[in-house]
């Protein structure tokens, strides 16, 4: 290398500049090394500390705990323990860990460990609660009637996902006998963490709010109007510009035999299968919802298709077709599979796609949240 390197001096310098209090002791607790930050905190110099044992710098109320701490040291790093250290002029509270290695005891830590643990535990609790909230926002049982049936698959990329979907029959109150309408939507919020999951829940709550406060029983349902309502509410909230919300919203009207839909940002188009030779990608799409886009540019539209017996609609977030493995995207393989299994019932289609997807990725980690909803009409 061209230079004589003093590794002992390098190691000593490192221990002096890191934000940790460090002691090295013999097996009986005799101090043989201390770093600068510990010396400065206790007010002792290196020589003074080398004349003491670990228990001699511990406050009396923690002596028994200190002796056990030394005795139980192993080659596995211990959990943090709180001790009051007796300094030359004052006491300090530190949370330290211990490690036994090569017949030496390494004691290290700082006053921040307890705060780190509190923050970590609080975040863990909040995330667990958020997971429960998000899971409860997903539908339990999807409609399965003699005229139409639905099935779904949901796989978050992390503990929390930014995808969300729902399927429900529209409540028209006293007019229910005259209407048979089903709403199905899939939402994909950018990202897949705590913030995305909470924003996805906002999507569902806002759509539910439309049906509670805006929808009039017997009124013609317009996905475009629902999207405009969501856009207005989202804009009022002033969400940061870095978020994008993509929504595909569909209404199945079994009385008028019409499928009406609006696509806000789904670039992986839903697939409508009439028969083996008539497979349509619903590629009419518009901007995703985002405060980064001038609201004047939005111009959502409804699109309608006549419902036919045995027709199948497959809606997926981009996490499924865009999953990549061995330089191949799943999209092409998925479309071929759908063409071969479209005549199955939705739950069997979903199962086949899930099995094939697992075979495709093997043991690879999924890159994005995955949502799949399949709707199928009966042979009425």
Beta strands (DSSP E) in 119-189 are 148-155, 163-169, 181-189
Q: Which of 61, 111, 68 is nearest to 86 (CA)?
A: 61
DSSP codes, 265-314:
S--S--EEEEETTEEEE----BPPB-TTS-GGG-----EEEE--TT-EEE
What is the model's pLDDT at position 114? 65
What is the model's pLDDT at position 2? 52
Q: Are 162 and 189 in contact (CB under 8 A)?
A: yes
Q: pTM for the full model?
A: 0.74
Q: What is the pLDDT along the chain (380 residues), one digit of tens a residue?
A: 455 667 778 888 888 888 889 999 999 999 999 999 999 999 999 999 999 999 999 999 999 999 999 999 999 999 889 999 999 999 999 999 999 999 999 999 877 766 777 788 888 888 888 888 888 888 989 999 999 999 999 998 887 788 999 999 999 888 888 899 999 999 999 877 788 888 999 999 999 999 999 998 888 899 999 999 999 999 999 999 999 999 999 999 999 999 999 999 998 899 999 988 899 999 899 999 999 999 999 999 999 999 999 999 999 999 999 999 988 999 999 999 999 999 999 999 999 999 999 999 988 888 889 999 999 998 76
**For residue 196, with 0-12 CB atoms within 10 Å meaning exposed, 13-18 middle and 19 or more buried, which class applies?**
buried
243 Cβ neighbours under 8 A, 6+ residues apart: 189, 190, 191, 195, 196, 199, 290, 291
Alpha-carbon gap, residue 71 to 105, rounded angstroms: 10
Alpha-carbon gap, residue 319 to 370, rounded angstroms: 5
Q: Are 197 and 161 in contact (CB under 8 A)?
A: yes
Query: Tokens 């209407």 belong to which residue?
Result: 179
Q: Which of 128, 133, 142 is nearest to 186 (CA)?
A: 142
DSSP codes, 334-348:
HHHHHHHHTTS-HHH
Within 10 angstroms of residue 33's Cβ, the number of other Cβ atoms is 16
Q: What is the chain's length?
A: 380
Q: At 201, is the secondary structure helix, strand, or coil?
A: helix
What is the model's pLDDT at position 3? 59
């Amino acid at each position: 290398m061209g230079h004589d390197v003093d590794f002992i001096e390098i190691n000593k310098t490192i221990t002096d500049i890191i934000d940790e209090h460090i002691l090295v002791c013999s097996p009986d607790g005799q101090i043989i090394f201390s770093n600068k930050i510990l010396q400065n905190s206790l007010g002792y110099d290196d020589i003074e500390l080398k004349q003491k044992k670990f228990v001699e710098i511990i406050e009396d109320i923690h002596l028994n705990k200190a002796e056990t701490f030394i005795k139980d040291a192993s080659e596995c790093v211990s959990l943090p323990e709180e001790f009051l250290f007796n300094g030359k002029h004052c006491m300090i509270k530190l949370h330290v860990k211990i490690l036994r290695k090569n017949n030496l005891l390494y004691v290290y830590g700082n006053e921040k460990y307890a705060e780190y643990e509190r923050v970590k535990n609080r975040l863990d609790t909040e995330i667990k609660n958020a997971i429960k909230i998000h899971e409860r926002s997903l539908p339990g049982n999807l409609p399965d009637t003699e005229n139409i049936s639905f099935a779904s698959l949901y796989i978050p990329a992390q503990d929390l996902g930014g995808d969300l979907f729902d399927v429900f029959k529209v409540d028209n109150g006293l007019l229910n006998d005259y209407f048979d309408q089903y709403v199905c939507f899939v939402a994909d919020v950018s990202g897949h963490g705590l913030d995305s999951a909470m924003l996805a829940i906002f999507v569902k709550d806002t759509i539910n709010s439309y049906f509670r406060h805006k929808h009039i029983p017997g009124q013609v349902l317009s996905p475009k109007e629902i999207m405009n309502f969501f856009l207005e509410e989202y804009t009022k909230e002033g969400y940061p510009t870095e978020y994008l919300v993509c929504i595909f919203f569909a209404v199945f009207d079994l009385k008028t035999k019409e499928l009406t839909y609006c696509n806000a940002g789904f670039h992986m188009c839903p697939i409508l299968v009439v028969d083996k030779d008539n497979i349509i990608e619903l590629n009419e799409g518009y901007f995703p919802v985002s405060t980064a886009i001038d609201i004047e540019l939005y111009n959502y539209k409804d699109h309608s298709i006549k419902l036919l017996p045995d027709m199948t609609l497959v809606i997926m977030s981009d996490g499924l077709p865009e999953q990549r493995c061995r330089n191949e995207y799943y999209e092409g393989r998925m479309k071929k599979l759908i063409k071969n299994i479209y005549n199955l019932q939705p739950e069997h289609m979903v199962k086949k796609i899930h099995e094939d997807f697992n075979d495709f990725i093997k043991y690879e980690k999924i890159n994005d949240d995955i949502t799949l909803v399949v709707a199928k009409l009966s042979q009425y």
